[in-house]
């Protein structure tokens, strides 16, 4: 069982108040889960404590760590939301609420992929920490998946591979992504996982000795250039990413050069290029294999120099060079941002150069980069043949923010965008309908079906009757009642927000529709197929 001391030990530089807050949450959660057991037979609280420790390792703030401790307490009805707010504050309750909301939606396979993803984003829109708690929760659940009944394992593992790992990747949380993938892979496809493990083992045995020699040689040369403050290690490729590469390279191991890569971590950016020059002076680089992710970071913010060289000792070897700060960020991604925002003091130590570069690369491009992976999944799984279910708002968001820079803007932008431009509401069946902000029950009804709009009689939001001009809010459940004798009134034209609804209303009222045009995102997406009416 994870002790509170172990959690606190990971909270470097935490204030006495923060420590007291986490200690209180620890004791509170322990009590709340008393008598409850996991599938493994262990006390349920072990899960809460383990989740909190993962969050502490990622450098999250005290509120998030405490939320990790309490993330399942409300769902089980052991603690009321009122009590939790009273004891731990609004902020913590908000995070726990978000995590609980995410938990109620089960992943139902590839055709629901986009929808699940949307739900994730809806719940996280206002506070990315919700998603980070969920990732930590998922990591511990994957570590203990063997105890879960067999018929559930594959679904959970697949969900991890297709939803959570890609999101960890987009958030730049490389370590989390690799952990999740490698924990899930054997449950999704045991044979392929065994094969990949075998390939990796063989290749490692082959190159181990040689790599150690190359490492030694490089150390010597770097020292000659006055570079003594660096470390190097050998990083093994994750099994799932090896599997994907094997697929791309027709299962030809000889075409994969980065199963084991040599990693050099130096203090500054200048040192990175010095080290690179030295590596290329020592070993011949393979043409076309050099990548400068420092000057051109990956969409999720990843930075490093990658080069592939021919060594006499170990044959073809990939060498990755990065600064300490880049290394930290490659592992913790957006979580490292949350930390520094909280600690404040730590930022000065890192130096201005780092601060500036840290988030300019991330911006909204991760949303954009989500699109191809969505397409891949829906094609591969054959969910809907030939049709990719990428929601239009995702395109729009990705496009609108291709050049947003800066750390504050990242989090603020996430908040603003999801809330100011789109609103996500649920049908009573749990399907998500996305609408422009300020949409009303009329827009909702027409978004579902024109017949429902044309015969809209009444609307309920979260079970309560509302007027037609009510502005819908994120996450609300909207229910429409239909009646044959109900018909649109001219007043609806002023209330409706979407042009889809207005077009139908005009038609139902016998008005001409020459001025109606689809909303902006639909114009762009459907230009060729559906010219404006
Ligand atoms: Mn949990």
What whole-number distance in Å separates Cα of residue 493 and Cα of residue 498?
A: 10
Cα 273 to ligand 1 centroid, rounded to whole Å: 44
Task: Name the residue with tokens 């002790």.
Answer: 3
Least confident of 63-72, 248-257, 454-463: 248-257
Instruction: Please report which confidence band the pLDDT of residue 322 belongs to, taking 50, 70 and 90 as the band edges.
Output: very high
Q: What is the pLDDT of residue 172?
A: 78
Q: How far is the CA of 201 from the centre of ligand 1 (A)?
A: 34
Q: What is the pLDDT of residue 514?
A: 47
Could you read off the pLDDT of 37-57 as tens digits, one per residue? Answer: 999 999 999 999 999 999 999
Question: What was the pLDDT predicted at 73?
Answer: 92
State which residues have CB under 5 angstroms from ligand 1, the bound ion. 72, 137
Quick one: which of 103, 104, 99 has its CA closest to 63? 99
Ligand 1 geometric centre to CA of 75 (Å): 10
pTM for the structure as a whole:
0.64
pLDDT tens by residue, 119-134: 555 555 556 788 889 9
More confident residue, 475 or 452: 452
* Residues 505-514, mean pLDDT to the nearest whole number: 80
Each domain of the chain, given as residue ranges in start order, spans 4-188, 190-328, 400-509
- DSSP for 80-128 reads -HHHHHHHHHHHHHHHHHHHHHHHT-----GGGHHHHHHHHHHHHTT-T
**pLDDT score recorded for residue 60:** 87
pLDDT at 271 (0 to 100) = 93
- In the reported structure, the alpha carbon of residue 72 is separated from the centroid of ligand 1 by a whole-number distance in angstroms of 5
**pLDDT (mean) for 113-119:** 53
Instruction: Give the integer Cα–Cα distance in Å for 81 and 74.
Output: 6
| pLDDT digit string, tens, across residues 333-392 | 777 655 533 333 333 333 333 333 333 323 333 443 443 333 333 333 333 222 233 333
30-39 pLDDT tens trace: 999 999 999 9
Distance CA 3, CA 319 (A): 39
The residues, any chain, with a CB within 8 Å of residue 155's CB and separated by 6 or more, are 106, 107
> Of all residues in the chain, what percent are helix, strand and coil, respectively (each to 5)?
60, 10, 30
Between 236 and 162, the more confident residue is 236
Structure tokens at 449: 């079906």
The answer on pLDDT for 151 being more than 70 is yes
CA–centroid distance, residue 150 to ligand 1 (Å): 19
Of residues 315 and 343, the one with the higher pLDDT is: 315
Q: How far is the CA of 100 from the centre of ligand 1 (A)?
A: 9
State the catalytic residue, choosing from 34, 76, 233, 431. 76
Kindly state the percentage of the chain with pLDDT values over 70. 73
Q: In Å, what is the CA distance from 75 to each residue of 71, 78, 93, 102, 311? A: 8, 8, 12, 11, 56
Specify the CATH number for 190-328; select among 3.30.1490.20, 3.30.460.10, 3.40.50.620, 2.40.160.40. 3.30.460.10
CA of 159 from ligand 1 middle (Å) equals: 15
Measured in Å, residue 144 CA sits from the centre of ligand 1 at 11
pLDDT given at position 306: 95
CB 105 within 8 A of CB 119: yes
Asked if residues 178 and 166 have their Cβ atoms less than 8 Å apart, the reply is: no
Check: CB of residue 472 under 8 Å from CB of residue 425. yes
CA of 101 to the centre of ligand 1 (A): 12
* 198-175-363 Cα angle (round to 5): 130
**76 is annotated as an active-site residue:** yes
Q: Which CATH superfamily is domain 4-188 in?
A: Hypothetical protein af1432 (1.10.3210.10)
Res. 492: pLDDT tops 60: yes
How close is the Cα of 450 to the center of ligand 1, in Å? 41
Q: Is the pLDDT of residue 515 over 80?
A: no
CA of 141 to the centre of ligand 1 (A): 7
Phi/psi of residue 497, each to 5°? -100, -35
Assign domain 400-509 to its CATH superfamily.
Beta-grasp domain (3.10.20.30)
Cα(80) to centroid of ligand 1, in Å?
A: 17
Pick from 173-177, 228-232, 339-343, 474-478: least confident? 339-343
Q: What is the pLDDT of residue 22?
A: 97
- Is residue 400 pLDDT above 60, yes or no? no
Closest CA to 121 of 298, 366, 336: 366
Select which of 6, 10, 42, 75 is catalytic. Answer: 75
- The answer to whether 422 and 434 are in contact (CB under 8 A) is yes
pLDDT digits (tens, 9 = 90+) for 48-107: 999 999 999 988 889 999 999 999 998 877 889 999 999 999 989 988 988 887 665 555
Number of Cβ atoms within 10 Å of the Cβ of 381:
14
Output the CA 58–ligand 1 centroid distance in Å. 17
Tokens of 179: 């952990």
Kindly give the distance from the C-alpha atom of residue 103 to the centroid of ligand 1, in angstroms, as a whole number.
8
Among the listed ranges 259-268, 370-379, 421-430, which one has the minimum average pLDDT value? Answer: 370-379
Nearest alpha-carbon partner for 119 in 341, 330, 391, 371: 391
CA of 51 to the centre of ligand 1 (A): 8
The residues, ordered by sequence, that sit 6+ positions from 352 with a Cβ below 8 Å of its Cβ are none
């Amino acid at each position: 069982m994870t002790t509170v001391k172990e959690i606190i030990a990971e909270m470097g530089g935490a204030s006495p108040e923060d420590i007291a807050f986490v200690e209180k949450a620890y004791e509170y959660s322990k009590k709340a889960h008393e008598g409850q057991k996991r599938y493994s037979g262990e006390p349920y609280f072990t899960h809460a404590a383990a989740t909190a420790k993962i969050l502490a390792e990622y450098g999250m703030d005290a509120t998030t760590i405490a939320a990790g401790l309490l993330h399942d307490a409300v769902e089980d009805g052991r603690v009321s939301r009122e009590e939790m707010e009273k004891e731990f504050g609004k902020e913590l309750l908000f995070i726990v609420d978000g995590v609980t909301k995410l938990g109620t939606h089960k992943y139902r396979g590839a055709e629901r992929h986009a929808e699940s993803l949307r739900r994730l984003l809806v719940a996280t829109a206002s506070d990315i920490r919700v998603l980070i708690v969920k990732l930590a929760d998922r990591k511990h659940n994957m570590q203990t998946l063997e105890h879960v009944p067999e018929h559930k394992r594959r679904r959970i593992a697949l969900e991890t591979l297709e939803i959570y790992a890609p999101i960890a990747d987009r958030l730049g949380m490389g370590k989390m992504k690799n952990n999740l993938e490698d924990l899930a892979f054997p449950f999704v496809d045991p044979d392929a996982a065994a094969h990949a493990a075998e390939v990796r083992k063989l290749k490692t045995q082959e190159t181990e000795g040689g790599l150690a020699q190359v490492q030694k040689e490089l150390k010597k040369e770097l020292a000659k250039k006055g570079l003594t403050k660096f470390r190097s290690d050998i990083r093994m490729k994750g099994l799932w990413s090896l599997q994907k590469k094997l697929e791309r390279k027709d299962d030809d191991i000889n075409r994969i050069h980065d199963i084991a890569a040599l990693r050099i971590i130096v203090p500054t950016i200048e040192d990175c290029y010095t080290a690179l020059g030295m590596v290329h002076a020592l070993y011949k680089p393979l043409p076309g294999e050099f990548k400068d992710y420092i000057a051109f970071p990956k969409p999720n913010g990843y930075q490093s120099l990658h080069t592939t060289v021919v060594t006499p000792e170990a044959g073809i070897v990939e060498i990755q060079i990065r600064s300490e700060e880049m290394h930290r960020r490659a592992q913790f991604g957006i979580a490292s941002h949350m930390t520094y925002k909280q600690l404040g003091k730590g930022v000065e130590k890192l130096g201005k150069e780092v601060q500036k570069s840290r988030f300019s690369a991330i911006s909204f491009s991760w949303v954009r980069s989500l699109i191809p992976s969505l397409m891949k999944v829906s094609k591969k799984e054959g969910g809907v043949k030939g049709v990719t279910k990428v929601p239009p708002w995702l395109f729009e968001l990705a496009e609108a923010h291709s050049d947003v820079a800066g750390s504050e803007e990242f989090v603020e932008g996430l908040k603003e965008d999801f809330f100011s431009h789109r609103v996500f509401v649920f049908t009573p069946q749990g399907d998500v309908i996305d609408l422009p902000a300020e949409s009303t029950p009329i827009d909702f009804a027409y978004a579902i079906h024109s017949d429902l709009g044309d015969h809209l009689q009444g609307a309920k939001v979260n079970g309560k009757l509302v007027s037609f001009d009510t502005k819908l809010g994120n996450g609300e459940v909207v229910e429409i009642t239909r009646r044959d004798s109900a018909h649109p009134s001219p007043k609806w034209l002023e209330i409706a927000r979407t042009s889809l609804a207005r077009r139908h209303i005009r038609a139902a009222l016998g008005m001409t529709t020459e001025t109606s045009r689809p909303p902006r995102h639909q114009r762009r997406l459907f230009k060729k197929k559906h010219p404006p009416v």
